[in-house]
Structures are given as C-alpha cells and as structure tokens.
Amino acid sequence: MALFKRAYLLFLASALALPETSCIFDDLEPCEDANIGFSITNNWGTDTSANPEGMAYLFFYDSGCEPWRFDFPGKEAGRISLPEGSYSFIMFNDDTASIDFVSNENEHIFATTKNVTIGFDPHIGELRASPDMMWADASILVKLDPNCLEYTTSEYAKKIDLIHNADMNMITNPQQIVARYTLLINHIENLSGVACMKGLLSGMSSGINLNTNTHSEKAVSIPFDLSVAADSAVCSEFLTFGLPGSPASEPNDILLFFKLSDGNIIKYDFDKTEEIRNASDPLNVQLTIDSIHLPYAPPIEGNSGFAPSVSGWTTVIVNY
C-alpha cells in the first residue's frame, strides 16, 4: 500500500491521506490549527555527499488525530508550526520512485519494494526490486508548548538523550539507511560470446522500519544489472536494505546468469556470506570475483560482447 505522494510544499503541513479511496490512517479526527512555531535543522554530519531532491517530515500526534507532514526541497529544512502537544517523528527523502511505504498496527512506517520478475525462473525464492537511495531519522518524542521544545535524539543512535530547547530548534541527524553494493568480476573468458547477463544477490532484507531503523527479518533476493568494463571485466553497483534482522539462516549468494550467442544459459553461484557479514562498512560493501571461464560461443555481431536489450532479461515490476 503506497503511503505518500511526492510533493514539494515549503512551509505547508498536510495529512497523510492520499487523494484516493484508501489511506493508511482511517477514521481519524483532524487536528486543531497549528499555533506553535519552531525550526528544524538537519545535521548531516560527515555525509557531505547526501543530495536528496527533498525531505519529508512527519509528526504523529499522541491524541490520535491525523499526522502532520511537511516537505522541504533539498537537504535542509526550515520553520514549521504545529499544535501544542506530544508527537513521534520520522523524516526521509521524498524523491524515491521504487519505494513502497506501508504501516503496521503500531503506526510504524516501513519502507520496502515491489516483487519483480526477470523473464526466467532462477529458483531462488522471492525477488524484490532494488531500493532507491534513502536517508532518514526518527525521534520517539517531540513535545511542544508555547515556551519550550523537548525532543529525544535520534532513535537510530546507540545513546538517546532528551533535549530541552527554549530556542525552539529541533536538530535532526539524517543518515543513509540503505546499503550500496559494488561487484567487480576481474576477468571473464569468452565474454565476446555473451548476448546478455543478469545477477542476483540472495539473503537481503525485504525492508526497513523507519521509526527504529531495524531491518525486516524476511529474506529476499535482489536482481542487478551487469556492465562490461575494461579488460574483459564486468561490474555492477546496486542498493539493498542490507541484511535481515536475523540473517544467520539465509546465505548471501551471488548468482550470475549468462546467455550466450548460441542460446545456452550458463549459471554461476558464489557464496559471499562471510564477505558480506564481515564487511568493514555494512552500508558500502565491495565484492570481488577473480575470474570466470565461459564456454566458447560465436562473438556477437559487431564484437560488442553485450546486448542488454535481448528479450526476456529485463527486470519487471509485479503489481499486487
């Protein structure tokens, strides 16, 4: 179920309900008018490369009325107004096309992606689309009165503090919450005879809880594209939600499929469980495969070695 509609509405608050027949929070009374102003300042820390087109800021009112949403373009926020009271808070970039937002009975918001197909059955279980880049933060308590702003620091941090701010300024700490995986295959023998190729990474989480930055325990596989590099090398870069909350029982295998010019399909399976789980930076994982020997097949016309448009090898979103 999709929760949010992308918008850039500076200094404008709105409810979460979409202009469709279904919405995520039903039968809620509207909140009273906003009457307390305060500022939001985003502390991006060392993540100087963060470049969202816009950020969404959601405040969930404890009294049970509809949540308030504010959208600011770019990576910085500004001044907003809310009714007096206590809230929980989440923020995330609102420039995501492949992300589905869903809620549970506790009104926690989960980011996930749709099921996909790749034109053939790899016999590896459920396939999910790679997510977009995401940054997020959350706070379990934001309390407003006319004289003071109180809020807890990031739910994503190891230590959470309660901040009292008479200057009415809330400091957030957005951070990258999806993992970037890069794969380099150093050399593929007989690459010139490859018509198309596809990769899958198994044992990845199906989504993430934006309120707590905890990963779903459900394991899925992520398809990814491969590109030809220099010296018969092949590479790929793609995003995932990282490892499941309980990853021990699901291995992290890279499956590579090569369709040759003679019609044969060759499959290789590499166990990367140890590399992935021992990565020094779980949000930026680099994987290497030394070499692959493919059977000889006649070179592709023009000797390009790679025709990505060959029918049956495209990742397709599956509508629910």
- Give me the pLDDT at residue 319, please: 47
pLDDT at 229 over 80: yes
Least confident window among 17-31, 136-150, 305-319: 17-31
Position of tokens 């869903």?
102
pLDDT digits (tens, 9 = 90+) for 284-299: 999 999 999 999 999 9
pLDDT at 304 over 80: no
Write down the number of H helices and E strands in the chain.
Answer: 1, 27
38 half-sphere exposure, CB direction, 13 A CA radius = 25
Kind and range of the H or E run holding 277: helix 273-277
Token representation of residue 107: 């009104």
- Domain over 179-317 is classified CATH 3.40.50: no
Question: 259: closest CA among 156, 113, 118?
Answer: 118
Confidence of residue 74 (pLDDT cuts 50, 70, 90): very high
Q: Are strands 36-42 and 169-172 parallel, antiparallel or unpaired?
A: parallel
Q: What percent of the chain has pLDDT over 70?
A: 83
Q: Are strands 175-176 and 135-145 parallel, antiparallel or unpaired?
A: antiparallel
Domain ranges for the chain: 13-95+135-176, 179-317
pLDDT digits (tens, 9 = 90+) for 193-203: 999 999 999 99
Cβ contact 232:191 at 8 Å: yes
Confidence of residue 10 (pLDDT cuts 50, 70, 90): very low
Phi, psi dihedral angles at 204 (to 5 degrees): -100, 155
Instruction: Spell out where 32-84 has E strands.
Output: 36-42, 54-61, 68-73, 79-82
pTM equals: 0.84
Q: Are strands 148-152 and 100-103 parallel, antiparallel or unpaired?
A: unpaired
For 13-95+135-176, the fitting CATH number among 2.60.40, 3.40.50, 3.30.1490, 2.60.120 is: 2.60.40
Q: Give Rg (Cα) of the chain.
A: 23
The better pLDDT of the pair 25, 44 is held by 44
- Give me the pLDDT at residue 250, please: 85
Least confident window among 78-87, 210-219, 241-250: 241-250
Q: How many CB atoms lie within 10 A of CB 130?
A: 20
Question: 12: closest CA among 65, 56, 61?
Answer: 56
How far is 238 from 54, CA to CA, in rounded Å? Answer: 22
Least confident window among 55-64, 149-158, 257-266: 55-64
- Give me the pLDDT at residue 235, please: 96
How far is 124 from 256, CA to CA, in rounded Å? Answer: 12
Least confident window among 18-32, 48-62, 97-111: 18-32
Confidence of residue 47 (pLDDT cuts 50, 70, 90): confident
